Amino acid sequence: MVYRSEPPTHTIAEKLAMANETSSSSSSSLPVVHEDEELIYGSEPGWVEARTSCDHLGSLSADLIHIPTPNTHCNRCHHPNENWLCLCCKDVLCSRFINKHMLEHYQETSHCVALSYSDLSVWCFSCDAYLDAQVILPLRPVYETAYLLKFGEAPPFRTG
């Protein structure tokens, strides 16, 4: 699974379309992509590839089926957005982009695996990497539960 660390400005397809439109009518500041240039999904700055294994899953809570709902506010500052679920103790804390309470929680407790209620990505602070919750079997139950709580239906898992 691929996650973006920043919102995209334009997709590759949009850049290609804009480059093709402007190259035929006028000069543009957008780079022209030639046919012999290889476009790799996720190769733009800001893309990260989720890991398919992690050595820190032994610290996960034994019960990840019963979790707080995605609209739960941060336990410390009560901020309603950008909250993460600690998968070790099930505390809900805000992201580093709000008041950094989940990061502080990791630094205080060494609870290193958390699920984002914003996009349902899973992050391991010790690995400093996203984890693929659809591939890593111990993470699938919490991913499925969070997806169901957030969207009201079971997640469409990837095939292949």
* pLDDT per position as a tens digit, 71-130: 999 999 999 999 999 999 999 999 999 999 999 999 999 999 999 999 999 999 999 999
Parse the chain into domains and list their residue ranges: 2-49, 57-151
pLDDT tens per residue across span 5-34: 433 444 444 444 444 444 444 444 444 444
Residue 47: per-residue pLDDT: 74
63 vs 34, higher pLDDT:
63
Q: What CATH code would you report for 57-151?
A: 3.30.40.10
Q: Which long-range contacts (CB under 8 A, 24 or more apart) does 68-74 make?
A: 68/92, 69/149, 70/117, 70/146, 70/149, 70/150, 71/117, 72/117, 74/98, 74/99, 74/101
Q: Contact at 8 Å (CB) between 88 and 110?
A: no
pLDDT tens per residue across span 38-56: 333 444 566 778 999 999 9
The radius of gyration of the chain from alpha carbons, rounded to an integer in Å, stands at 19
Residue 80: per-residue pLDDT: 97
